């Protein structure tokens, strides 16, 4: 990279280690790498800092969640470009990436992602020479850091990289694994994905060996820490809020599917679906209607990995006329849900009034009760923003299985969403899958990537066709190195 060089000094936040939850923390001060890794706690603080850094791009209302990529997927209504306050969203919906406001937003996303990668690399460097940590803590920390590095790199290539069906030999981005004051070479898609896969394979190996989630249920690990004698420290608990072993398996499935490797995508997705705890109970389960009464709109039991946040002031997504991220309710019902309003996921929308158009508007309530005043007990976990979910593993199995097996998975999936399953055929499979991706991952930033991977030229609610020029984003102007 020419302008966004990554330097060898790490700037990370230090945190209060007495907090109830591993990631429910408040920043205290800043430090450099030499000071940070002079103690055992410093390694934990560095790992926590990486997750908190990810919030800049992956919290509700940020580019990688409910705003940027979801506007690019045309999931929200946009006014004409004449309105200054909606100009960015209008340009995103029309994939006009040369617009000044869009370029600025992409600059921010790009820099935030590589800053997280810098912190991962600095932590990994320190782990390679440390003598303070026992092998279990060191192994788990290394596994998480590698998994985060792969996760963030993967979203960069999904945004700025080629259509996965036609990657070619062009160089796109740097896959950064070192900390240096020099430029980093850009990689071809093939080389980049090889390095990403190597990170995931190593993370999988480490976390399978050292992650307590392999031995114990989420319900055991999501309660007051030190409940298990062999894991006396807070470090080992609330694994669904971390890149745990099953989160890595889920990311493996997502990455393999992107690469067109359906055999291995199915292998990893099936491992997650079949995972059981020490009692023989499924480790992850679908959200249920009773979750709504406890304001658990994010269906926490589905989370393979959810990013913890302290609070979120929902001024643009939720109920009331102030909501700006809305879709016409009539379109939502007829076009997306095809009048199946009994679908559990439809219950995750408010009915609003708006001045934007005639008729009612719908806004998501997924993140509506994350305000600090609704502070959750440790077991409620409504402060977890979904990054990888069980439902995605079912969608991967549906796409990668034989048609009879696909229908079996689809029936289970649809039953969990409280609607009947219309038989899948070779004709309706892709369109059905795309609708399910939109319904499941509304305001989670995944729909645009599903559109891109499948090469769909006619997005739902878009007024224009979408091709390679719209799916492959140019590097932001702040990054003037670029591929070739």
Mean pLDDT value across the chain: 88
Sheet hosting strand 349-352, strand order edge to edge: 327-328, 361-364, 349-352
Residue 349 lies in a domain: yes
Specify the higher pLDDT residue, 124 or 32: 124
> Looking at the predicted structure, is the pLDDT value of residue 64 above 80?
yes
> pLDDT-based confidence at 37, cuts 50/70/90?
very high
> Looking at the predicted structure, is the pLDDT value of residue 141 above 80?
yes
pLDDT at site 313: 59
Maximal CA-CA distance, the chain: 65
pLDDT tens-digit map of 351-405:
887 778 888 999 998 988 665 444 444 334 557 899 999 999 999 999 999 999 9
Q: For residue 307, what are the β-bridge partners?
A: 385
Q: Give backbone dihedrals phi and psi of 16, rounded to 5 degrees, phi first.
A: -75, 115
> Looking at the predicted structure, is the pLDDT value of residue 20 above 70?
no
Range in 77-86, 257-266, 390-399, 411-420 with the lowest mean pLDDT: 77-86
- Average pLDDT rounded to a whole number, residues 165-183: 91
Residue 6 lies in a domain: no
- Average pLDDT rounded to a whole number, residues 116-124: 95
**CATH assignment at residue 301:** 1.25.40.390
- Average pLDDT rounded to a whole number, residues 103-112: 96
pLDDT tens-digit map of 442-470:
999 999 999 999 999 999 999 999 999 99
pLDDT tens-digit map of 319-329:
555 577 899 99
Residue 471 lies in a domain: no
Range of the domain at 106: 12-459
Residue 87 lies in a domain: yes
Evaluate whether 287 touches 440 at the Cβ level (below 8 Å): no
Residue 475 lies in a domain: no
Cα–Cα–Cα angle for 301, 307, 312, nearest 5°?
Answer: 100
Residue among 39, 16, 38, 43 nearest 28 (CA): 16
**SS3 assignment, position 262:** helix
Residue 1 lies in a domain: no
Which region, left, alpha or beta, applies to residue 95 given φ > 0 means left and ψ of -120 to 50 means alpha?
A: left
Residue 365 lies in a domain: yes
Which pTM was predicted? Answer: 0.93
Residue 470 lies in a domain: no
Residue among 358, 354, 359, 296 nearest 325 (CA): 354
- Average pLDDT rounded to a whole number, residues 112-120: 95
> Looking at the predicted structure, is the pLDDT value of residue 8 above 60?
no
Range in 80-89, 146-155, 279-288 with the lowest mean pLDDT: 80-89
How many domains in the chain?
A: 1
pLDDT at site 218: 94
> pLDDT-based confidence at 311, cuts 50/70/90?
low
């Amino acid at each position: 990279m020419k302008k966004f060089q990554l330097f060898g000094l790490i700037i990370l936040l230090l945190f209060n280690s007495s907090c109830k939850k591993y990631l429910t923390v408040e920043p205290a001060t800043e430090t450099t790498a030499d000071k940070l890794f002079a103690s055992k706690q410093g390694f934990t603080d560095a790992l926590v800092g990486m997750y908190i850094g990810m919030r800049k791009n992956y919290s509700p209302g940020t580019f990688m969640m409910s705003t940027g990529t979801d506007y690019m997927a045309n999931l929200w209504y946009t006014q004409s470009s004449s309105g200054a306050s909606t100009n960015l969203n209008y340009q995103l919906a029309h994939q006009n990436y040369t617009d000044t406001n869009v370029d600025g937003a992409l600059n921010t996303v790009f820099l935030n992602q590589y800053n997280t990668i810098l912190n991962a690399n600095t932590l990994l460097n320190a782990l390679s020479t440390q003598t303070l940590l026992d092998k279990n803590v060191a192994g788990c920390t290394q596994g998480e850091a590698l998994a985060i590095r792969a996760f963030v790199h993967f979203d960069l290539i999904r945004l700025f990289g080629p259509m996965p069906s036609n990657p070619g030999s062009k160089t796109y981005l740097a896959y950064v694994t070192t900390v240096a004051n020099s430029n980093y070479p850009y990689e071809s898609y093939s080389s980049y994905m090889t390095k990403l896969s190597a990170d995931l394979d190593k993370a999988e190996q480490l976390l399978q060996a050292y992650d307590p989630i392999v031995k114990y249920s989420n319900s055991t690990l999501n309660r007051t820490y030190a409940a298990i004698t062999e894991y006396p420290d807070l470090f080992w608990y609330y694994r669904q809020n971390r890149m745990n072993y099953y989160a890595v398996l889920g990311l493996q499935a997502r990455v393999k599917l992107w690469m067109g490797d359906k055999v291995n995508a199915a292998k990893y997705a099936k491992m997650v679906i079949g995972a059981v705890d020490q009692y023989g109970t499924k480790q992850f389960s679908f959200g249920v209607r009773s979750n709504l009464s406890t304001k658990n709109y994010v269906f926490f039991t589905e989370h393979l990995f959810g990013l913890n946040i302290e609070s979120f002031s929902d001024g643009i997504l939720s109920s009331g006329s102030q909501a700006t991220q809305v879709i016409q309710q009539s379109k939502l019902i007829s076009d997306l849900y095809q009048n199946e309003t009994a679908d559990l996921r439809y219950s995750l929308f408010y009915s609003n009034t708006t001045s934007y158009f005639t008729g009612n508007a719908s806004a998501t309530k997924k993140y509506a009760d994350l305000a600090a005043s609704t502070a959750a007990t440790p077991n409620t976990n409504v402060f977890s923003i979904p990054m990888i979910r069980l439902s995605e593993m079912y969608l991967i199995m549906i796409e990668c299985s034989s048609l009879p097996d696909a229908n079996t998975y689809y029936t289970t999936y649809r039953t969990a969403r409280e609607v009947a399953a219309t038989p899948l055929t070779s004709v309706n499979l892709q369109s059905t899958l795309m609708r399910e991706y939109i319904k499941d991952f509304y305001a989670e930033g995944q729909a645009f990537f599903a559109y891109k991977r499948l090469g769909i030229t006619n997005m739902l609610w878009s007024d224009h066709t979408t091709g390679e020029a719209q799916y492959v984003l140019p590097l932001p102007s702040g990054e003037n190195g670029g591929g070739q």
